Chain A
Amino acid sequence: MAEPLIFEQSVPGRRGYLLPPSGVPALAAADAWPDEALRPIPPPLPEVAEFDVVRHYTRLSQLNFSVDTNCYPLGSCTMKYNPKLNERIAAIPGLAYVHPLQPEAHVQGTLQLLYELEQLLCAITGMGAFTLQPAAGAQGELTGLKIIAAYHRRKRHRDRTVILIPDSAHGTNPASAALAGFTVEKLHTGPNGLLDVQELQQKLTRHVAALMLTNPNTLGLFERDIAAITAMLHEQDALVYMDGANMNALLGVARPGEMGVDLLQLNLHKTFSTPHGGGGPGAGPVGVRTSLEEFLPVPRVVKKGRHFAMTARSRATVGRVHGWFGNVGVLIRAYAYIRTLGREGLIRAGETAIINANYLKAKINDAYAIPYDQPCMHEFIASATPLKAHGVTAGDVAKRLLDYGFYAPTVYFPLIVAEALMIEPTETESKETLDRFAEALVRIAKEAAETPDVVKRAPSRMPVERLDEVKAAREPNLRWTAEQHTAVSGG
């Protein structure tokens, strides 16, 4: 049964919340403001009781798959368990209710936490300094590209206009590069699933400002020539930006600092397990080697003796990318996570993520094509091409998995693999769950051969059947109106 919209439950005059009495003399807005500033009628919002709100949003929550309810093997998104402890820490009133403009003496605890988090991220990545400001991975990329631009401006490299990006990269990479004013040049993935070093050599002209590389890449493979690649770029005085979205695989395995990477963003919500909240908030701190530190956004936290302070001074800074200091609520969760796991826990997380992915790959190897069949890092690409003979696509497999109680892998990405299923189980799924997931995938492959219509019509056990996305795009209906309501209840 579908849940009506909250607007459809509105009853004029019904109240959901009582505000405290004012306690000060009454004042009509009409006496304080000119007529043209006054809103003639209140904003037309739902009029419902608190209990209506509780039932409605509880019911809606039940129409969702989530990490807490289902295995969520969404490649490149690192949907690991989000510890409840982190929520508890972030909610401590002394941390949740501090104002960003309070005197420094009032916020020493928060500043200390941010300072220590920066040190921990440096230790984990081998970078020299971090800004915690970017609100998400993509904003981190943009910040990184601004730093690259500032670096070349400083060096008076006026013609460094090109960013090299592999064809397997996340879509945000080229979008960020374009937004930062660069031209994007594509690099092709070699037959072994790695960056084609020969092509890189050819395209490495004096116009190249930087290479943007994901490592491990989106095929789940470690770029084994990374040290040679960074050396090549540095020889041309170009920089290497690493998209750190896949950092989970490197915990306790290797550090980007030693690979020669100049700067990278970390998606804290992935690697350090802060809840994705149906699409955010995230946090995308950017780490740089020490020589680039002066370009980082301000303000930054500094330690002066035992005292922590905010400094806004830096002549070379690229500026500010967040209204305040970043998504502090998210940063607190990531800090709690790192402190909880500590050295052994983080290493264990990286190891288990890699073992889990390789195990799952081995279990489905016979039913699906594995285009780059070599040991993978924390994720791998399978392809549904063998099912195509029966008219079944990667999208169909994804929908059918929902029926089996699993969220779907990332599909049709990276773009270079036909019918791609990008699978990332993460370290927090148990062997038992992986066995069940593999079994579901194998069973779907069998269904594709025997009863393909069942797969093509999937899902059949969800709150809705497959949705008409063409209609959604052709006749965009992006908000409810009262007229719609009349039409629905009339029909």
Chain B
Amino acid sequence: MWYSQNTDAQLQEMLRAIGVRSFAELIRSVPETLQRRTLDVPDGLAEAQVIELGEQLAARNRSVKDVISFLGAGSYHHLIPTVVDAIAARGEWLTPYTPYQAEASQGTLQAIYEFQTMICELMQMEVSNASMYDGASAAAEAAVLSLRATERPRFLVSEAVHPHVRQTMSTYLSDASAMLQVIPTVNGVTDVEALDKALKDDVAGVLLQQPNVFGCLEPMAQAAQRAHRVGGLFVASVYPVSLGLLQPPGAYGADIAVAEGRCLGSPISFGGPGLGLFTTTQALVRRIPGRLAGCTVDQSGRRGFTLTLQTREQHIRREKATSNICTNEGWLALRATIFLSVLGSHGMRELAQLNLEKAHYAQRRLSEIPWIAPAFDQPFFNEFTLQYDEKVNVVRLNRRLAAKGVVGGLPLAQWYPHMPHAALWCVTETMTKDAIDRTVGALKALV
């Protein structure tokens, strides 16, 4: 199957109109030694065959709809209102490009403007861009911005920041003359004393994650205050769903707030595409990476929207641009905008409340099991770390649980080798009480 429309006869007619005898003549600028008019690719398939192929591959997976899954760790399964899929599937939303011609792209531009506003409200920050690749690259770009804005060489990141985020930051900063320093934790949260010791006047910024990778709430306000005391920036990496209940970054003085926003209306999709959220203060607006949509007027004074402050971008500043980002995650940003509209203020509050209640119920029930205890004595949102008895092998236990259709908490040893008996459990609004109770029963029966 192919989607090219022109028939062989039309192609011949077009070649004649061009003034060549054959396609080969048309590509004579490609040296013959390099031409290779074949491909080692299987034959094409009919639509029905491709559907069959897709379904066969899907059948080799077990999705979070087929199992009871307690996995979170940066990728969270949440409800997606039907209206999100229905509207976002429209071709007018799926198939336009970056809105370079504003007059023919008012839908995309107004939706981005609404997205920017909603993300600002959620974060209580002053400026949002039109989105970035994912939460990890947004955090990396936040570090890059901090280093440039302060002209200082050191950036501090808590050990309790998701390791993939730290790895991505480290890749981004690997060739700059910058140093990424990790601050240890104590009892599941960033060690504020260690942070104090590391904070010197060569520190460009500090990044903490809220709630952190162990599920614990961090002392964000204290950390922000300390970063500011030495003239550094404070960067918060947050979980958008928690912000229905949890103090937003703007309230504790974050200079930059980033997030993985895929949880707002897009499926987990094996972790990607993600939706990087990037917000900052008015003071840093001209240094913000990525696209921005702005409100303006047309020749008759009517309101309209356009991409703006493009002089920061690489098609104008080239090697002096604020970042090399040329794309955003427009379609996921649209989905988030629809998601936030349909949930509204109260829906977001209730969503966070449901997550809190169910997670706390699960943590309490799981902790009743004699060989399980909470790993830390810290407040949490919808994710928590449990400490198993030393006799229990976390990986083997999970394998046995999986046989019963339950994906248990994530063994943390793969990221934190000093925690061989700890597992990270996540409970969102998609989990039922019955599934929690059954899991508790299964665990009791296993050991």
Q: Which of A300-336 contact B (CB under 8 A)?
A: 318-330, 332, 336
- The CA of A77 and the CA of B434, in the complex, are separated in Å by 50
> What is the chain A residue whose CB lies nearest that of B176?
A181
CA distance A280 to B127 in the complex (A): 21
The answer to whether A285 has its CB under 8 Å from any CB of chain B is no
B164 x A179 contact (CB < 8 A): no
A109-121 interface code vs B (CB 8 A; 1 in, 0 out):
1101100000010
Binds B, one of A36-44, A195-203, A381-389, A439-447: A36-44
CB distance from A251 to the nearest CB of B (A): 7
With the chains together, A146 CA to B324 CA distance in Å?
A: 14
- State whether A336 and B50 are in contact (beta carbons under 8 Å apart), knowing that A29-B356, A46-B341, A69-B91 are contacts in the complex: yes
Let me know if B343 and A467 touch, CB within 8 A.
no
Q: Mark B408-427, 1 if CB is under 8 A from A, else 0.
A: 00100000000000000000
**A343→B61 contact, CB < 8 A:** no
Residue among A22, A259, A465 with most chain B CB within 10 A:
A22
Q: Choose among A135, A338, A375, A377 the residue with the greatest number of B CB atoms under 10 Å from its CB.
A: A135
The answer to whether B239 has its CB under 8 Å from any CB of chain A is no
Tell whether B168 is near chain A: CB-to-CB under 8 Å: yes
Closest approach, in angstroms, between the C-beta of A295 and any C-beta of chain B?
Answer: 12
Contact B117 A362 (CB under 8 A): no
Tell yes or no: A451 within 8 A of B by CB.
no
B96 at the interface (CB under 8 A from A): yes
Chain B residues lying within 8 Å of A255, measured Cβ to Cβ, are 36
Q: Decide: B43 and A467 in contact? CB cutoff 8 A.
A: no
Instruction: State how many angstroms separate the Cβ of B136 from the closest Cβ of chain A.
Output: 4
- Complex contacts, A416 vs chain B, CB 8 Å: none
User: Is the beta-carbon distance between B379 and A43 smaller than 8 angstroms?
Assistant: no
Contact B344 A16 (CB under 8 A): yes
Q: What's the Cα separation between A402 and B99 when bound, in Å? A: 13
> Residue of A at shortest CB range from B135?
A323
In the bound complex, residues from chain B placing their C-beta under 8 Å from that of A177 are 319
Would A19 and B36 count as touching, CB distance under 8 A?
no
Tell whether, in the assembled complex, residue B94 and residue A87 are in contact, meaning their CB atoms are under 8 Å apart.
yes
Chain B residues lying within 8 Å of A240, measured Cβ to Cβ, are none
| A24 and B357 in contact, given A50-B342, A137-B327, A324-B272 (Cβ under 8 angstroms) | yes
Residue of A nearest to B436 (CB): A24
**Nearest A residue to B291 by beta-carbon distance?**
A279
CA–CA, A317 to B160, complex, Å?
Answer: 23
Contacts of A178 in B (CB 8 A): 319-321, 324
- Residue of B92, B245, B311 near A61 (CB, 8 A) is B92
Q: Among the listed A10, A138, A180, A363, which residue makes an inter-chain contact with B17, where contact means beta carbons less than 8 Å apart?
A: A363
- Cβ B108 vs Cβ A279 within 8 A: yes
Q: Which of B201-209, B302-310, B386-394 contacts A (4 or more CB under 8 A)?
A: B302-310
Give the docked Cα–Cα distance between A297 and B136 (Å): 14
Residues of B within 8 A of A26 (CB): 357
- Cβ of B441 within 8 Å of any chain A Cβ, yes or no, is no
A109 to B311, CA, bound (A): 44
Q: How far apart are B302's CB and chain A's nearest CB, in angstroms? A: 6
B356 and A463 form a contact (CB under 8 A)? no
Asked if A431 and B14 make an inter-chain contact with CB atoms under 8 angstroms apart, the answer reads yes
Interface string of B231-268 (1 = CB under 8 A from A): 00000000000011111100100000000100000011
**Is B6 an interface position by the 8 A CB rule?**
yes
Tell me which residues across on chain A come within 8 A of B260, comparing CB atoms. 323
The verdict on A64 contacting B107 (CB below 8 Å), with A253-B30, A328-B270 known, is yes
Assembled-state Cα–Cα distance A342/B53 (Å): 14
Q: Contact between A53 and B174 (Cβ–Cβ < 8 Å)? A: no
A194's closest neighbor in chain B, by CB? B29
Closest to B313 in A: A171
Asked if A206 CB lies within 8 Å of chain B CBs, one says no
A278-B108 in contact (CB<8A): yes
Contacts A85-B51, A398-B101; A44 near B175 (Cβ below 8 A): no
- A19 near B351: Cβ-Cβ < 8 Å: yes
Chain B residues lying within 8 Å of A139, measured Cβ to Cβ, are: 133, 137, 324
Assess A336 versus B54: contact at CB under 8 Å? Given A43-B244, A106-B62, A281-B273.
yes
Q: Are A464 and B304 in contact (CB under 8 A)?
A: yes
A167 smallest CB distance to B (angstroms): 10
Q: Does A129 contact B (CB under 8 A)?
A: no
B445 within 8 A of partner (CB): no
> In the bound complex, how far is the Cα of B315 from the Cα of A425, in angstroms?
22
Of B75-83, B182-190, B192-200, B369-377, the stretch lying at the interface with chain A is: B75-83
A430 on the B face (CB < 8 A): yes
Chain A residues whose CB sits within 8 angstroms of the CB of B83 once the complex forms: 16, 50, 53-54
Cβ-based interface call for A490 (8 A): no
Q: Contact check, A7 vs B114: say whether CB atoms are below 8 A apart.
A: yes
Interface residue total, chain A, C-beta cutoff 8 A? 202
User: Which residues of chain B in 70-119 are interfacial with respect to chain A, using CB atoms and an 8 Å cutoff?
Assistant: 71, 73-75, 77, 79, 81, 83, 86-87, 89-108, 110-114, 116-118
A317-372, CB < 8 A from B: 318-330, 332, 336, 338-349, 351-352, 354-356, 358-359, 361-363
Contact partners of B93 in chain A: CB under 8 A: 57, 61, 64, 66, 277-278
B248 contacts A142, C-beta separation under 8 Å: no
A68 at the interface (CB under 8 A from B): yes
**Do the beta carbons of A252 and B54 come within 8 Å of each other?**
no
Residues 1-47 (chain B) with a chain A CB within 8 angstroms = 1-6, 10-11, 13-15, 17-20, 23, 25-31, 33-45, 47
Smallest Cβ-Cβ distance to B252: which chain A residue: A36
- Which chain A residues border B271 with CB–CB below 8 Å? 99-100, 322-325, 328
The CB with the most chain B CB atoms within 10 A, among A57, A102, A356, A410, is that of A57
Contacts A100-B268, A320-B168; A146 near B348 (Cβ below 8 A): no
Do A2 and B2 touch across chains, with their CB atoms under 8 A apart?
no
Q: Which of A17, A58, A283, A323 contacts B347 (CB 8 A)?
A: A17
Q: Please, which residue of chain A has its CB at the minimum distance from the CB of B274?
A: A323
Does B149 touch A at the CB level, under 8 Å? no
Q: Are A375 and B300 in contact (CB under 8 A)?
A: no
Q: Mark B321-365, 1 if CB is under 8 A from A, else 0.
A: 101111111111010011011111111111101101110110000
Of the candidates B44, B306, B434, which one forms a contact with A467 in the assembled complex, judged by CB atoms under 8 Å apart? B306
Are A94 and B36 closer than 8 Å at their CB atoms?
no
| A383-B209 Cα distance, complex, nearest whole Å | 51
Q: Does B407 contact A (CB under 8 A)?
A: yes
* A348 touching B410 in the complex, CB below 8 Å, given contacts A323-B134, A329-B272: no
Which residues 209-265 of A have a CB within 8 angstroms of B? 221-222, 224, 226-227, 251-255, 258-259
B103:A465 contact, CB within 8 angstroms? yes
Q: Which residue from A97, A179, A182, A339 sits with its C-beta under 8 Å from B268?
A: A97
> Which residues of chain A are within 8 angstroms of B50 by Cβ–Cβ distance?
85, 89, 336, 339-340
A142 CA to B28 CA, complexed, in Å:
33
Q: How far is the CA of A83 from the CA of B3 in the complex (A)?
A: 8
Task: Report how far A305 CA is from B91 CA in the complex, Å.
Answer: 41
What is the bound-complex CA distance between A311 and B226, given in angstroms?
39
Q: Is B58 an interface residue (CB 8 A)?
A: yes
Given known contacts A222-B30, A472-B296, A275 and B120 CB-to-CB distance under 8 angstroms: no
Q: Are the CB atoms of B61 and A107 closer together than 8 Å?
A: yes
> In the complex, which residues of chain A have a beta carbon less than 8 angstroms from the beta carbon of B191?
none
User: Within 8 Å of chain A (Cβ to Cβ): is B181?
Assistant: no
User: Quick one: given A100-B75, A430-B6, are A15 and B103 in contact (CB under 8 Å)?
Assistant: no
Q: With the chains together, A326 CA to B432 CA distance in Å?
A: 30
Asked if B281 is an interface residue, CB under 8 A from chain A, the answer is no
A15-B41 in contact (CB<8A): no
Name the B residues within 8 Å of A402 (CB-CB): 101, 103-104
**What are 14 A-B contacts with C-beta separation under 8 Å?**
A39-B251, A46-B118, A46-B341, A97-B64, A97-B267, A98-B270, A99-B69, A110-B61, A138-B326, A170-B326, A322-B272, A340-B44, A431-B5, A472-B295
Q: A37-B379, A109-B57, A135-B133 are in contact. List 19 more A-B contacts (CB 8 A).
A: A24-B433, A53-B87, A63-B105, A63-B107, A79-B97, A135-B273, A136-B326, A171-B326, A179-B172, A182-B175, A325-B270, A341-B2, A351-B23, A355-B23, A399-B103, A428-B3, A464-B298, A473-B311, A478-B285
What 8 pairs between A and B have smallest CB-CB spacing?
A324-B271, A277-B331, A94-B58, A342-B44, A68-B91, A109-B60, A279-B330, A100-B271
